[in-house]
Homo-oligomer: A and B are copies of this chain.
Amino acid sequence: MNRQKQKSLEKKGWKIGSTAEFLNLSEEESSYIELKLKLSINLRKLRTEQKLTQVELAKILKSSQSRVAKLEIGDPSVSLDLIIRSLLALGTSNKEIARAISS
């Protein structure tokens, strides 16, 4: 991961103190974050393709607009669980989820 990406992640609230500290993000942590981001992006793509607003999606998910917003940016406060459940609720298959992770 590069400095560009760090900036992006920092902006999104992943608390990263310094470049040094950032570089010490374990392989595990960065993989986890990347996974989340990929699926988040996929979720937004899916929603917009289906021409839904966040409010409409929230209704489908029995959640709230603000949580959908957080889901779609991979906010640290949302779990992979919720992202994946949301993708499934929008009709994504397990195979498609796998594809998104691999991409």
Contact = CB atoms under 8 A, between A and B. Distances in A.
Contacts of A89: 28
Band of interface residues on A: 20 to 34
A97 B103 CA distance: 12
Interface of A: prevailing SS? helix
A10 interface: no
Interface in A15-51: 27-28, 31-32, 34-35, 38
Contact of A79 (B32, B38, B81): B81
A64 interface: no
Contacts of A84: 32, 35, 80
Contacts of A81: 79-81
Interface of A: 27-28, 31-32, 34-35, 38, 79-81, 84-85, 88-89, 93-95, 97-99, 101-102
**8 smallest A-B Cβ distances: which pairs?**
A98-B101, A98-B102, A98-B98, A28-B88, A80-B81, A79-B81, A31-B88, A28-B89
